[in-house]
Structure formats: structure tokens, C-alpha cells
Amino acid sequence: MLNSFKIFTYTPPQPPVFSTPAESLFFSSLINSSFLTPDPERAHLFFVPFSSSTPIRSLSRLVNALRTDLPFWNRTLGADHFYVSCDGLGFNSDRNLVELKKNSVQISCFPTRRSSFVPHKDITLPPLADPHHAPVLNETKNYLGYVKYGAVKESSLVNELSDDQDFLMERQPSDVLTYEWRLSVSKFCLFEYGDGDVSGISDAVRFGCVPVVITDRPIQDLPLMDVLRWQEIAVFVGWKNKSGGGAKRLRHVLDRTYGDENRYEEVRGSCVTAGQHVVWNEEPQPLDAFHMMMYQLWLRRHTIRYARREVA
């Protein structure tokens, strides 16, 4: 992949401006990488760059220009193209946007809006994890679970966890050193998918704080789905619309599944190993988040070549 995979990027009227650091790092890493080719005939995929604030009408005109001025879009109706949009694009009746949304690969932020993500086609960026602080792998776990400020919003669960001394519940944001210490001394890190802040899931993986994701539905937009076996490095717990929940039920699930210390250490070790894949670097390093994103794009390089329609 490193030597053969090639991407052609269209030149935007102005340099794109993105809304998140992860988007910006991906873009700058791609533009300065050896994956780019100036020859579109050598390209496996085509990158359509545009700013996060681009209006829908302007985006439609952009795609229409690709369709009418250049031959590459029409060869696959955009299926060998990709773009970056943190919030993701919703479905639209405009033909240009329909093809962009339906056919092209969307790279968005995790978590995505449910209506803006197409499983098996789209991919998500790992939340930004700070590479400058090496994770401290503390062998002594003082807490069963750690809840970062804002990571769990369900009020009754928050109250129950606050009263349980085995769970470390943040009432306000902590500084970096305190945050990392709490990650290192906790067995599990809790996140509520959908309503809570799940941006700390990358940090949890790096520090061996096994993620516990509370959700009422299957999750199809986890970062690096083609790379990481999330079922082996995280715990998924149903919560909403279920009776008899709360901290006691959560504890029961964790004790039943990971009461065996050897089993827990196995999962924790898998977490730490996977941690190298979720780190963003100013200068990309082998096996880091940028290269894992490129690997997922590489897997999508084989597209259906639609026959061009003749105009009567």
C-alpha cells in the first residue's frame, strides 16, 4: 500500500478550512504525503477538498463542475472519490449531492449523526489523542470505573455512579496530568454513546482503560472499524429502554464478564496494543491514525466502473 496506493486531489479555489484538529491533521498529512500523484490516470481514488463551512449550493456547484469539466467523476458517478466532512452530509434531492452522498466515501468525525453515515462505505476519524504524553500503564487499579466529565449524561446513572466509591465520577473538567492519572488507575472508562462525550475513547484505549460504551443500539461508526476489533478491546452495555439498570447492573456486567483477572489483562493488553493506531502525529508515523485512515481508503479503492451514458 505505501508504495502503490495513489490519490489525486482536486485543487480547490481556496485552501479548505476545517472545524476540528483531526480533520486538519488528516488533510495536511495527506497533502504532504507520498500517496498523492499529479497524474489522475495513476490514481486509485480522488479527493474532493472543501471547507467545513461550504454552503450546500456551493457544494452542488463544485460537484457539477467535476461532472462537466473533467472525465473522472462520470467514470464511477463519484464512487472512487472521497471527501472530509466532520458533521457528515445529509441526504438531499439535488442530483450532485445525491451522488456525492450515496457513492463517494465520506470521512467524518466520531460519533456521526445517525442519518449522515452509510455503513461499509463511510469511515470516521479517531478522536484526537495527544501523542506528546506517553501513556503511563499503572499496574495498580484504584477504581473499577472512571467517568470523564460529560462522558455520561443519563441523570439517574450519573447519580448512582457518584454514590459508588468504586467509580470515579468527574464533576468538572480536569487538567491533563490529572486526567491521565485517572485513566491509568481505572480499570474501565465509561462512555454514553449518543448523548455523552465519547471523544476520550482514544485516550482510554492508549492508557489501557478498557472502554465501556453504554448504548441502546448497534454502533456502526466506530473509528477504524476495518482495523480494530472493537469487540475485543471494549465492552458494550445496553442501558436505555431496559429495566433494572443503574450502577448495580453495570457492575454485574463487568464482574460477570471480566471478574477473571487474566481475562481483564488480556483485554487491557489488546487496548494498549491498539493504542498506537489512534494517535495523530504532526508528522505521520508508521501505523498511526493517519496511516490507518489511508489503509481504510486503500480497502475501498476497488469500485464499480459504470458505463458512460451516451448523450443523444
Reported as a pLDDT band with limits 50, 70 and 90, residue 150 is very high
| CB distance 84 to 48 below 8 Å | no
Q: Name the DSSP letter for residue 210.
A: E
Q: Say what percent of the chain tops pLDDT 70.
A: 91
Which single residue is written with the C-alpha cell 480547490? 12
Least confident of 51-65, 158-172, 240-254: 240-254
Residue 79 or residue 91, greater confidence: 79
**How much is the pLDDT for 305?**
52
| CB distance 41 to 80 below 8 Å | no
CA separation for the pair 261, 114 (Å, rounded): 36
**How much is the pLDDT for 51?**
95
DSSP sequence for 119-150: TTT-EEEPPP--TTS-----S---EEEEE-TT
**How much is the pLDDT for 130?**
60
Question: Does residue 259 register a pLDDT over 90?
Answer: no
Taking the model in full, what pTM does it have? 0.89
The pair phi, psi for residue 270, each rounded to 5°, is -65, -35
The domain made up of 143-276 has a fold known as Rossmann fold (3.40.50)
The pair phi, psi for residue 302, each rounded to 5°, is -90, 110
**How much is the pLDDT for 8?**
97
Give the residue range(s) of CATH 3.40.50.2000 domains in the chain.
Answer: 143-276
